[in-house]
Every structure is written in structure tokens, then in C-alpha cells.
Amino acid sequence: MQIQEIKFNLLSIPTTPARASATEIASGRNDKITTLVVKIRTKSGIEGIGFAYSLQGGGKAMLAIGQEDLAPLILNENALDNEKLASKVYWRTQTIGRTGLVQQVYSAIDVALWDIKGKAAKLPLHKLLGGFRESIPAYISHTGWLWMSVGQIIDLSKPFLDQGVMGLKVKVGANPQNDIERISNLREAMGENIWLAVDANERYDTGTALAMGNFYQDEIGVGWFEEPITCENIKGHSYLANNLDIPIASGEMLFSREEFHNYLEKGAMDIAQPDITRLGGITNTLKVIHYCESQNIPVSPHLLPELAVHLGCGLPQITSVEYMPWFEPLFNEYPKFKEGKLIPPEGPGLGLSLSEKAINEYIAS
């Protein structure tokens, strides 16, 4: 299964609904997703696809890293040797890439290698990973941005809630008093039976997070409190996890297995949220998930339902996936809801094929 050809495309994909308001965009927040797509073709004719993303820049650097640094390391290698290739790239790029952009770019490559592995075995990825279940609970998170009013959140969420999805996650953290009013009004409008989580994206300090956590658990009844404080503050996360009944969810900003180990050893997270395209792909993410299993920590991957649905259906430790359909326009197929749960697309590997129309439309200038 010799790798014969590697091609990269850099795209800029608009978000619908927009992840940023006009005011946020004016202040520098990007409402488009910089996306690196890779196609890996083997000598036997099997082609795998992978992708990774960046939210606030770095696209041209990602493209250069892929083309100039990583592609030469895996060209002519066996595409089925994902562990060998991950190790090779790690040691060759250790001085510049143990975390960050190098790992993000290699994530796209590693996903493509797993796509090839599934196609070679004629199995969908979730079966290759273990085939634990046929569908996975999913919550929506693209209908609860900070700029949205309670009415907008309700209107955008209703079509999914009517299908019986697990619930929704809403952004908080702009201002504690505004958060209290907004989430209280949202809970009153939705009722007590709708599952609701809150995500502060690291915006609170520890003291504020403790006070807000008590409010969210006592007055609102939320499913989890996500990224309450900066990811560097492991001690603060441990303090919150030990002083709040509400589960503390985190992990999207962690770029290595070692960072997850440090969090778990210090009791700093109750729910792990690894981002597949920040950890170096599926190969490393699987190791994080299995370590979480050994520590009895549930896993709910960050974003990427196109990939997470396979992990969720393949592995028992994953309890839910996040439905953020940023990349839906990129593919001819997409995971669908059935009786409120997400099911993977049919077909071997990822079960996805790229839309050439989308690639041409979203190509970055």
C-alpha cells in the first residue's frame, strides 16, 4: 500500500449560521474556517482524504508545513503503517512540532491514512475501530453563539430538538451578569427537560468560574461547564472540579497525550473533549480515549462530527459527539440523524467523498 502521491488544498469555508457577529468580525474574529484538505493516493489506486482546520490564521503556514516538511517524510511509505509514520514524523519534527501547527497538519494526513485503512479493509471506520454501536447521542452547538439572542437560539435549535437530539450547548463568558440573565431566560423558554451545557471558552477567572458554576448547577441545571478558565491553569481546573457538583469539561485546547495525562492525574476534568485535528489525528486520539477509559473519564470529542461519529460508534468510552456542521459543504455525504442520534455515512473508511465544486468555490486566495 505504497504512498504514491500527496496533494493539499487550502480552503476558507464560511460558517452557517455565522460564528461571529458583524461587531466581532470588525474586531478581528474570523467567521470563516481555514481548512487544509489532503488527498493521499496509493500505488494500488486507493485514495484517502483528511482535513484539519485553524480558526484565527495559520493557513499558509499549514500548507507550507504539509507540502515542504511532512509530505516528503511519508511519500513512498506504506499507508497502513500509521503508528510507524506518526513516530517518524514526531521524531523528525520534534524541535518544531511536538504541538501546534505541525500536529494539526499531520492530523489531516493521519485521518487520510485511516480512511485508506478502512477502504483497504472494505470496512467503515467505526467497524474497524470496534463497532460498539450503530448510532451515538449528539448535541448541537452551532445554534448558541454569544451574539445570538434567546429567540434566535430557540428558533435555530428547534428543528434539531424536534428530531430528538440530546440537547444543545450555549456560549457564555462575555459578562457574568449578562450570562446569568441570558441563560436564565433560555432555560425558562426551553423548559427544564431540555439538556443544556454551557461553554465559557476560557473567559472566566477561577473565582468567577466558581460563582458561575454554582449558579449554573443550582439555578439552571446544566449538563456540564466547559472550559471555564484558561487551559494552562490545571490547578484551577482541579479546584473547580473538586468544588463543584457540575461536571467540568475540557480538552479541546490540549495538543498532546501528556497534557491530557497531566489533567487527569490532577483530577482537573470530569469529561474529556479531545480535538482529533489538534492531537495529531486519529492515531493519537485513540490513545487519549483509551487512557480516559482506564481513568473512568467519559469522552465527548470536540467538533468534527464527520470523524467523531466513527469514534463514537466504534468505542464505548465516548458518550456523545458535538454536532457542529462547519464542513458539511465540503462533502458529498454527511452524518445524519436517526431518532435523535447521529449515524455515520455508509461506505468504507470515512464514508466521505470531497465535493470538487466546494473545493473550487472555497479555495483560499
Annotated catalytic residues are: 171, 302
> What separation, in Å, do the N-terminal and C-terminal C-alpha atoms of the chain show?
34
φ/ψ (deg, to 5) at 112:
-65, -35
Amino acid at residue number 225: F
Length of the chain in residues, anyone? 365
Convert 322-344 to b/e letters by CB count within 10 Å (16 or more is b): bbbbbbbbbbebbbebeebbbbb
As a whole number of angstroms, the distance between CA 76 and CA 214 comes to: 56
Nearest Cα to Cα of residue 263 among 287, 285, 241: 241
DSSP category for residue 344: P
Amino acid at residue number 227: E
Residue 31 grid coordinates: 467567521
Nearest Cα to Cα of residue 102 among 89, 83, 84: 89
Across-strand partners of 247?
none
- Dihedral over alpha carbons 351, 312, 84, 295 (to 10 degrees): 180
